[in-house]
Amino acid sequence: MVEDEVIFYGHPNVQSLHPRALEVTKNTELTLRGDCIIGVGANKACKDLDPALQRLLKNDNSVVRLSIIAGNRSCRLNGFGSSRLLLFNSQDIVVRKTNFACSRTLCLNTDKASLDIPREIVGLLQNPETRAILNIVIE
């Protein structure tokens, strides 16, 4: 098992309304146009992830388990690795319900996007005081 975690923070403009993507960013500002973004001020982007995890993410047979943890709430997502992943973006991590891959993409074909995050968690992520975790595991 290989695991890494990304720490990020809430922002008042978190809407979590995108039907196909979910994003965490190192940027600290967020406009209402960023409707897939669930958190800002992340301590890692794709290029900062554990190299062992990156190798597994680039495997077409990898199953990726994600958890978003905010306060006493959590939400699980499942997705897949791909040999098409680049993982060199230095600002963002994006998970996608689709098969689209770019430098910001962490995994593909997830079972949830930002729109699917429980509204209780979204409420917590609208508070800039909320410290949250994106946990990434490949077994």
For residues 87 and 4, give the distance between their C-alpha atoms in angstroms, rounded to a whole number: 14
Number of domains present in the structure of the chain: 1
Q: Given the DSSP bridges, would you call strands 21-25 and 92-96 parallel, antiparallel or unpaired?
A: antiparallel
Based on the number of CB atoms within 10 Å of its own CB, is 51 exposed (0-12), middle (13-18) or buried (19 or more)?
exposed
**Which pLDDT tens digit goes with each residue over 47-65?**
999 999 999 999 999 999 9
Query: Is the entire prediction scored with pTM above 0.85?
Result: yes
Residue 83: pLDDT band with limits 50, 70, 90: very high
CATH number (domain holding residue 28): 2.60.120.630
The predicted-structure confidence for 90-131, as pLDDT tens digits, reads as follows 999 999 999 999 999 999 999 999 999 999 999 999 999 999
Per the structure, the complete domain to which residue 82 belongs is given by 2-138
